A = this chain, B = another copy of it.
């Protein structure tokens, strides 16, 4: 039986790695002083409407009627809008409110490599601060969260107000240009030029836009943009000043990001030497909370697309599939030892060792085969001798050693070996 297009299951060998990656990211969020939160997966459509922009709302949102209440519901499209809604309806929150949320979101996109209709986001946001400190903290946070695994990253940084200011001086509507430039990665400059030409822009205007967007230095932008952009570029320089790894940051005006709600600095993290698009992105959205009927509260934050990260991690060997979390398997040599095995199993579990025991009344050989197939580390054999003498025969399949020790000593020894290679 198949799943709907764009939906997936994660079997244990993937899920074990996923959980490890997610909890490592989570631990970085916590270290930065962010608090966990979870929001409803379903919103009223009227609440969502007008927040993400025309394309998202006409095509990409899962919207459906509640047959009983006759209200239109929507699966959440990201974790930012639910946060803004929450903040808007909780005026008592002490600010800054630093929260993280890790969870599923749904987008009705055409499924392709690294893109699904259901996927996970790891979001961290700071609500209440309009200062560059907040943006810089988020950038440092996503750098730490992603780099901890060994990925080499580049952080593309921009601010939408620069382009819109320069374009408006040229008498050009910036929304159209954004939409075209947003596709630069996919369709290249030729494609962007064609699209702008279709929108009625003249060749020399397009050439000029290309020139501006290609400027890699903030000073050049200030020269072209004049006083109107200076406040914005000064703010960007203040952010960069607080970023730990300045060498990872590139100023890039071609970055516009798809969502409508951004109002200031925006950034995206791309993996070096990987053509998978961005693995994280974010920016400032100072108006969104007000749009939800809240006070005028500034906010900034970012989202890590953990699945792309994991996908690239598997491809490059940074992550490896793992078949099991189970550490020990108790094998009864004959039927007679079964009850004793069951008791021992309880003991090992109480000691914190993740232990499995035969549940199929299989013979010794089949139990061993099953344990090996799963990939359990310690195979513990229980026969008449072991039972009578209170001993355990333990085979450490990592080292190939066979140990014969008193039950208590064997448990201590297994724990010692596990603690040396413990992961989760």
Contact = CB atoms under 8 A, between A and B. Distances in A.
Interface of A: 1-5, 7-12, 15-16, 18-19, 30-33, 35-44, 47, 62, 64-69, 71, 73, 82, 85-86, 88-90, 94-96, 98-99, 104, 106, 108, 118, 126, 128-129, 131, 133-134, 137, 140, 242, 244, 292-293, 324-326, 329, 342, 346, 349, 352-361, 370, 373-374
Given A12-B99, A19-B36, A129-B360, A94 B374 contact: yes
Contacts of A5: 69
A36 B16 contact: yes
Contacts of A12: 35-37, 99
B325 A30 contact: yes
Contacts of A71: 4
A12 B342 CA distance: 41
B349 A32 contact: yes
15 contacts: A4-B40, A4-B42, A8-B40, A11-B86, A12-B36, A12-B99, A31-B353, A33-B329, A41-B118, A64-B65, A94-B374, A131-B360, A133-B359, A137-B359, A242-B342
B37 A1 contact: no
Given A15-B38, A126-B359, A33 B354 contact: yes
Given A39-B9, A40-B118, A359 B15 contact: no
A290 to B, nearest CB: 12
A345 to B, nearest CB: 9
B47 A293 contact: no
B244 A346 contact: yes
- Chain B CB count within 10 A is highest, among A31, A41, A358, for A31
A244 B346 CA distance: 9
Contact of A129 (B82, B126, B359): B359
A153 to B, nearest CB: 18
A37 B9 contact: yes
A86 B9 contact: yes
B44 A3 contact: yes
Contact of A18 (B32, B38, B128): B38
B3 A16 contact: no
